[in-house]
């Protein structure tokens, strides 16, 4: 079961739809849901906002215009701090991401810049900004070792960012996306090396090819399956897994 993940507070970026929204619902439907769930989304009046106002979320969504905008990240940090106080933030899931369909022949500087800015710089800036709150959570009483329940940064990555596997080239070249996720994986390693000393666990997770499906059994059958797998994995990770790359099935992936 998912009894392994017992998070006091979680902030999830990119909740406007797709995997982010499903991850949010998955967190709320756990046997022991987080006390504070912060759904960072571009449109707080959208689906997440409406659900949160009714019965979905104990905490209202955090409108953050853009993970590429330091001011809106700063505003989100202040909102989270107001709610969690000295308990800090236990889990940051950097899920906001974008892609542009491309081949090597059609790839452009504009695509590369746009996708890298959201997929790599966004998680960097968000992690930097929430570091003080993650450190607070890591110091809190009653939690030993390293875990996603205590203090962690989870970067939602992709097998398409694995240089060794180089999966699905024929179906989907998407050079800008692959490069941004390879760079995100290096960021995960850098965060693990630097923040690990403060007791913060940092990992990359491939949720499977949920959008769009690649076929041939490469991804989960459904987004629900992906979410259950990811949450189960997060409940199991510990200090020995700091700075590593996993898929939704709980398998370790090569960089």
Coil vs helix vs strand at 127: helix
Q: How do the domains of the chain map onto residue ranges?
A: 9-252
Mean pLDDT score of the chain, rounded to an integer?
87
Confidence of residue 18 (pLDDT cuts 50, 70, 90): confident
Tokens 């989960």 found at = 220
Coil vs helix vs strand at 173: coil
Region of poorest pLDDT, from 32-41, 135-144, 157-166, 207-216: 207-216
Write down the pLDDT at residue 62.
65
Instruction: Express each pLDDT in 45-104 by its tens digit.
Output: 555 544 444 344 455 666 565 788 999 899 999 999 999 999 999 999 999 999 999 999
Angle between helices 70-84 and 122-139 (to 10 degrees): 20
Token couple for 79: 């909102």
Confidence of residue 222 (pLDDT cuts 50, 70, 90): confident
Strand order in the sheet with 9-13: 62-63, 36-41, 9-13, 91-94, 152-156, 201-206, 244-247
Q: State the burial class of residue 251 (Cβ atoms within 10 Å of its Cβ: 0-12, 13-18, 19+).
A: exposed
Write down the pLDDT at residue 47.
56
What is the CATH architecture assignment of 9-252? 3-Layer(aba) Sandwich (3.40)
Q: Hey, how many other C-beta atoms are within 10 angstroms of the C-beta on 101?
A: 12
Q: What is the mean pLDDT of residues 203-231?
A: 77
Q: Is the confidence at residue 246, as pLDDT, over 80?
A: yes
The answer to whether the CB of 23 falls within 8 A of the CB of 224 is no
Sign of the alpha-carbon dihedral angle for 97, 98, 101, 105: negative
Q: What is the mean pLDDT of residues 190-219?
A: 82
């Amino acid at each position: 079961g998912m009894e392994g993940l017992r998070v006091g507070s979680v902030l999830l970026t990119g909740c406007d739809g797709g995997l982010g929204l499903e991850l949010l619902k998955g967190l709320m439907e756990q046997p022991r849901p987080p006390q504070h769930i912060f759904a960072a989304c571009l449109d707080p009046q959208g689906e997440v906002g409406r659900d949160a106002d009714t019965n979905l979320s104990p905490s209202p969504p955090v409108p953050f215009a853009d993970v590429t905008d330091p001011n809106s990240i700063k505003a989100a940090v202040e909102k989270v701090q107001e709610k969690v106080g000295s308990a800090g933030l236990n889990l940051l899931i950097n899920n906001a991401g974008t892609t542009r369909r491309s081949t090597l022949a059609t790839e452009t500087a504009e695509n590369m810049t746009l996708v890298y800015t959201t997929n790599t710089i966004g998680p960097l800036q968000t992690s930097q900004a929430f570091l003080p709150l993650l450190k607070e959570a890591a110091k809190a009483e009653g939690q030993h070792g390293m875990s996603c329940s205590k203090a962690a940064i989870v970067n939602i990555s992709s097998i398409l960012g694995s240089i060794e596997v180089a999966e699905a080239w024929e179906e989907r070249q998407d050079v800008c996306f692959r490069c941004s996720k390879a760079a995100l994986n290096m960021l995960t390693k850098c965060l693990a090396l630097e923040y690990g000393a403060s007791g913060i666990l940092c990992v990359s997770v491939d949720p499977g090819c949920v959008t769009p499906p690649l076929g041939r059994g490469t991804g989960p059958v459904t987004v629900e399956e992906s979410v259950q797998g990811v949450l189960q994995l997060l409940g199991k990770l510990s200090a020995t897994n700091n700075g590593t790359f996993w898929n939704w099935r709980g398998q370790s992936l090569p960089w």
